[in-house]
Amino acid sequence: MLYIHELGHLNAKSADIESVYLIRELREKTPYPLENNTFAARFENLFVSQTDQEMIQQALYLVEPTLEALQQLIAEANPTYELLNLQRAVQILKEMPEALKTNLSYVNEIRPWQDVFVLEAVTTFNSIPHLRTPEEKTACNQKVNSLFQKVLRHSQFSFNFSDIVHEAQLFQIQGLQESMARGFLFHISLEEELKKVHYEVIKARLPEDTVRKVEHLRGNIEIIKKGVERAYNVNLRMIQWALIMYAYVKWLMNK
């Protein structure tokens, strides 16, 4: 995608702009009538995979135990840790479960439907150049709209991302993981801050058990981050999927 870089960027105007090069490619390289195998090949890199499902599931699974471990550190009231940062980490992780859960339901619904999509889309799209009566056009339009609604989770031509993983969760978890790599959960002295002492150096002065606990949390947060990133990537792919469908429809309407 050239112009759409966030989930909220999709609309009819941006789709028109994005579809220009897609329609040009379709005109030059796509035989008509459409065939199932060649049509499916255009979407195969966008389809939901088992790996997508597993990574989102693993992230969701780890959020609760990671939150519990952070809350235990808060309860310890150990001055080795930075209390405000522990609380901040808890706040960030609490933003993840609902979005991940809904996103997982979304991908679990889309994956088994993908083969059905190919069959329905090829049949419907092949009919577009032959539509003559208002009744035929209305019936086809309803079928096309149902495909877009399934992919975009919305009756309008925009992506309904408000309850799934979007930029807010993505940036929060990425920021937390980056901060963890700098010793975010530990109390760091003003001198160490000013001298920008590396976390590996700071770890050498810390009690071994506190480092072990935080490194375990850091590993969990890395896995959660990868799951959130994967969910966000799937959501962007759904927008690209919709754009390709949009290009097919525009191309075939003028064929």
pLDDT per residue as tens digits for the range 130-140: 999 999 999 99
Cα angle for residues 49, 53, 55 (degrees, 5° grid): 110
- The pTM for the full model equals 0.96
- Neighbour-count burial of 29, counting CB atoms closer than 10 A to its CB (0-12 exposed, 13-18 middle, 19+ buried): exposed
pLDDT, tens only, 72-127: 999 999 999 999 999 999 999 999 999 999 999 999 999 999 999 999 999 999 99
Neighbours of 21 (CB within 10 A): 11
Question: Domain boundaries in the chain?
Answer: 7-253
pLDDT, tens only, 176-214: 999 999 999 999 988 888 888 899 998 999 999 999 999
Rounded distance, CA 135 to CA 116, Å? 24
